Every structure is written in C-alpha cells, then in structure tokens.
Chains A and B, each alone.
Chain A
Amino acid sequence: MTITENAPLVPDFGTTDTPRKLAIICSKGNLDMAYPGLVLANAALGEGVETHLFFTFWGFDMIHKKTMGDLKFTMLGNTATHMPQGLGGLPGMTALATHQMRKTITDLGIPDVPEFLQQIVDSGGHLWACRMSADMQHLEQEDLYDEVEGIISASDFIEKTAGAQLLFI
C-alpha cells in the first residue's frame, strides 16, 4: 500500500533548545568496559544530546596519559568468554585476549580509547575527572588527557548534570 503525504514529511531532528542531557559515570579501567560509555556518549552527541562523562576509580585509567592507550582485557572472572577460567590465568593470556579484542575493535573501524575521547570532545562532549580518584592516585591535571576540563568533586558533577539522565558503567 502506498501512502501519499501531502504535507512535506520531514524527520524530527529536534530543536536547538532540546533539554536532553546525559551524564555517564565511567568507573572501570578494563578495555572491554571502557567502550560502552564511549560508544553511548558518542551516540548521544550525534543525536544532539548534551553529554558529560565523569571518570572515577578504575575509570581513571581511561584518561590517565600513562594508561589510556594501554587498557587491557582479561578472561579472568569473565564467564562471558565461555572459556575455562583456568586458561585465563596462564602467562600471556591477558596480553593475547587484549590483542584479539583490539584487533576486533580496529577491524570494525572503531577508534582506540584516546582517539575516541578526542572524537567525543570534537562532538561537543565534556570530560571530567573525579577529585577523590585523583587524590588517591596522587595525580594532577597535567597527568590526565589534555581535553579533560577539570578535576571536580562528586557533588560538583552532580550539580553540573542537574536534570540529566545518568548511566553508571
């Protein structure tokens, strides 16, 4: 059946005063757990949603210059690999699993963590570092990815993201 629209059919691209806002708390430092937050932040920005990422605890590895390009994936404790857990403990296994995962991600045309963060910033996203995590690891702003806007307290982040939908990863 063919429906003929007399009025122009225009997709809903929202308006510039869209109130939608998203806050994503990244608390994990494993390679596999870095991506959900990055992918969702990128998707939200592409939909015109104001997006803030807050890196805390192990999630600090995603923005720490020393570690951000070297996140790892391990089979240990991850039953979703459907491999015998004993295998994961063998020497070199984490390196192998990490290598495989990186390759899969690259083959799909998905950027590595530092490049992904840059894409998020270029799309208008905001990166924030957790004050307590910085203090625990004795890190300063210069130790962190250059695009991180600041090291802020948890309450400042909550304040900045008033009215936002929130994801904890």
Chain B
Amino acid sequence: MTTTTIDGRTVHTNDEGFLTDPTEWDEQVAETLAARIGLELTAEHWRAIRFLRTDYAAQGETATLRRISTVGGFPVKTLFQLFPQKPAKKLAYVAGLPKPQGCV
C-alpha cells in the first residue's frame, strides 16, 4: 500500500497514483489531482465527476467511457474534450476512483 500527501492530508493510492479509498476524496482533492494533470475543472468537468462518483457508489465499479456516455448522457466527443487523450482514466483519477476495468 502506498500513501501520498494531498493538500497536507495523507491519502492511500495504488502504485500508479489512483486513490484507493473513495472516502478520502473531496472536492478540494479533485481540484489538486486535476491540477497535477494539467486540468482546470469547469462546471462541465464537475458534472462528469459527480456522475462517476454516484455511479461508482451504486455499481461498485468505475464506469467505462461507454457507460459514462450512454448512462450518464455525456457525448463521447465532449469527454475527449474535457479530459484529453485518456478520458476514462483521467476522469477516474480526478474523481478519486479506481481506473475502469471494462473493455468497452
């Protein structure tokens, strides 16, 4: 197990840096994580983050890009604009969740 310090708080992560305990996350943590990967969070980012957190709480696993798009109603194109290059993983990282496991 690895710990790292975010905003003076100790949080648990996996060896890649994804938070492993969703309860250690809050909105301030999200802002800091986003800044680390060069993102400034807008209202649009927040809508996606909140969907992912809510869906994770209900499903017990992180939604894939497909699920974020079909269930959450976020167009795939928009997700690529908000979280460029690797939208599903970046979104999971900022939302303090494990990276998605599903193939599609």
- Listed in ascending order, the chain A residues whose CB lies under 8 Å from chain B are 1-6, 8-14, 16, 18, 39, 42-43, 46-48, 108-111, 119, 122-124
The contact string, 1 if C-beta is below 8 Å from chain A, for chain B 1-32, is: 11111100010010111100000000000000
CA distance A87 to B6 in the complex (A): 62
Tell me whether chain A's interface is mostly helix, strand or loop, or mixed: loop
- Inter-chain contact A2/B104, CB cutoff 8 Å: no
Known: A11-B18, A122-B77. A42 touches B104 (CB 8 A): yes
Residue of A nearest to B13 (CB): A9
Nearest-Cβ distance from residue A85 to partner chain B, whole angstroms: 30
Q: Specify which chain A residues have a CB less than 8 angstroms from the CB of B5 in the assembled complex.
A: 5-6, 8
Q: Is the CB of B76 within 8 A of A122?
A: yes
Task: Summarize B's interface: helix, strand, loop or mixed.
Answer: mixed
Contact of B103 with A48 in the complex, beta carbons under 8 Å? no
Contacts of A16 in B (CB 8 A): 84-85
Q: Which residue of B lies closest to A15 (CB)?
A: B85
A-B contact pairs, 5 of them (CB 8 A): A13-B85, A46-B88, A119-B69, A122-B76, A122-B77
Assuming the A-B contacts A9-B17, A110-B66, are A123 and B80 also in contact, with contact meaning beta carbons closer than 8 angstroms in the complex?
Answer: yes
Are the CB atoms of B1 and A3 closer together than 8 Å?
Answer: yes
Q: When the two chains form the complex, which single residue of A10, A39, A122 contacts B104, counting CB atoms closer than 8 Å?
A: A39
Q: Which residue of B lies closest to A4 (CB)?
A: B3
Known: A47-B86, A122-B76. A2 touches B17 (CB 8 A): no
Chain A residue, CB-CB nearest to B67: A109
CA of A110 to CA of B102, assembled, Å: 10
Nearest first, the 5 closest Cβ-Cβ pairs linking A and B are A48-B85, A9-B17, A122-B76, A5-B4, A11-B16
A14 touches B17 (CB 8 A): no
- Sample of 6 further A-B pairs with CB below 8 A, known A6-B5, A9-B17: A9-B15, A43-B103, A46-B86, A122-B75, A122-B80, A123-B65
